[in-house]
Amino acid sequence: MIGTVARVMWLALLRDRGALVLAFVLPPLMFLVFAEVFSGAGESDLEMRVAVLDQAGTPLTGRIAGSIVKLDGIVAVPDASGSGPLDVGDLEALVRTGQADAAVWLRAEPDGNLDADPPVVVIGDASRGLAAAVVTGRVQRVLQSQFPTLGVARAASLVDALAGPYTEEQQDALDLALSELDAETLEQESGDTSQDGLVAQRLLGGGREIDDGVSYYAGAVAILFLLFAAMQGAISLIDERTSGIVDRLVAGPGGYTVVVVGKGLFLTLQGLAQATLIFAVAWWLYGMDWFGHFGLWLVTAFLAAAVAAWLGLLLASLCSSRQQAQTASAFVVLILSAIGGSMMPRFLMPGWLRELGWFTPNAWVIESWHGIFWRGDGPAQLATGWGVLLATALTAMVISIWLAHRLAREK
């Protein structure tokens, strides 16, 4: 008897192609996506977009800049076809707008002068502090491995300062050793050479009162739950199909389209309320300047809620059973959220996945909110994101309504 029950379930699964795909094709697919997203977070695999400004313009800084941009895992921005940053203000703008994860400013030729400011400055955004730390580490490694004399010279200067001046003989010997070292070490590792004082790190926006990650994760979590709630709410469309409510409504003058539009309106308002609650908590507990940007926040929240609502309704319109819709919606929400940056910042993902993220509403919503609260973006900077969200919501709405119309008039 137990075997019979198992056999019945197997046959039922075997004959429901939709369920079969969801049961056996999606899990490995999901694994692949998650593996790509999360395994890319190891520091050695991270691909960083880095802007480099060689302000010193000496042969040495030119070599250092060249070495940095050739590193594996570093993508120079702007790319070779564009013009490089003109000054440090341009560098900061690239980092602030998210076009670069971090920037390297070679402001002076590194030497043994301990009193001078660090000649190399890595500029990062406080909200992506990890990116700045990773780039700093890579720049230090370049200096250690390819320019070890810089560290030795600084160490010698330190000894000179602490233990008194070198004699003439000692200084000659040191100069000779440094020149020999410089000639033979391009391909050697010199891990023990200190680079203290050569590289400094500067984080933009780090002086703000709120936690750096709050504005990012408020948006990331909000869009994740907006999508989940909208998908669950939209499944009522399927319940209404199976319960005969659709048959009843289609026979009436209003038809089924009004039902779909009504659900879209409700789910949008529900999403707006959810986003309001999340940001209210961020404002209350973390001091986020919510009211200072309320208008821009509201437009983004409305668009985010509308996208979530209509994507949910579109998915429910395409599914033929509640089970199918539940599995499919979980899959869609998890994938969109993983790729779109709701679970992990996108700058920690491989480059191709980061680009793929722009095809998710999560990325646009997170970027818009983050831009508003972190960078102080205005309507001009937000226009593209808003446009993409609006277009996505409208497209999903039109297709959902068309499917509803098709359902109502069968032939």
Q: Is 242 in the site for other proteins (CB under 8 A)?
A: yes
Least distance between other proteins and beta carbon 262 (Å): 9
Q: In the complex with other proteins, which residue's Cβ is closer, 236 or 342?
A: 236
Comparison of 70 and 405: residue with beta carbon closer to other proteins: 405
* Interface characters, 128-147, with other proteins (x: CB under 8 A): --------------------
In the complex with other proteins, the residue whose CB is nearer, 99 or 242, is 242
Residue 57 or 254: the one with the smaller Cβ distance to other proteins is: 254
The region of 42-50, 81-89, 242-250, 353-361 touching other proteins under the rule CB under 8 A is: 242-250
Q: Taking contact as CB under 8 A, which single stretch among the options 77-85, 154-162, 239-247, 351-359 is the one that binds other proteins?
A: 239-247
Give the nearer residue to other proteins in terms of CB position, either 255 or 376: 255
Give the whole-angstrom CA distance, residue 275 versus residue 266: 14
Per-residue CA distances from 6 to 25, 156, 168 (Å) = 21, 77, 90
Residues from 243 through 262 that contact other proteins (CB under 8 A): 243-245, 247-255, 258-259
341 Rama class: left (phi>0) / alpha (psi -120 to 50) / beta: left
State the nearest-atom distance from the C-beta of 318 to other proteins, in Å.
20
Q: What contacts 24+ positions apart, CB below 8 Å, involve 274-280?
A: 274/222, 274/225, 274/226, 274/229, 274/305, 275/222, 275/226, 275/301, 275/304, 275/305, 276/301, 278/218, 278/221, 278/222, 278/225, 279/218, 279/222
Pick 163 or 251: Cβ nearer other proteins: 251
Sheet containing 102-106: which strands, arranged edge to edge? 74-76, 48-54, 102-106, 120-125, 199-204
Distances (CA, A) of 161 to 156, 164, 193, 341: 9, 6, 18, 49
Contacting other proteins within 50-79 (CB under 8 A): none
Query: Contact positions toward other proteins, by CB under 8 A?
Result: 242-245, 247-255, 258-259, 408-411
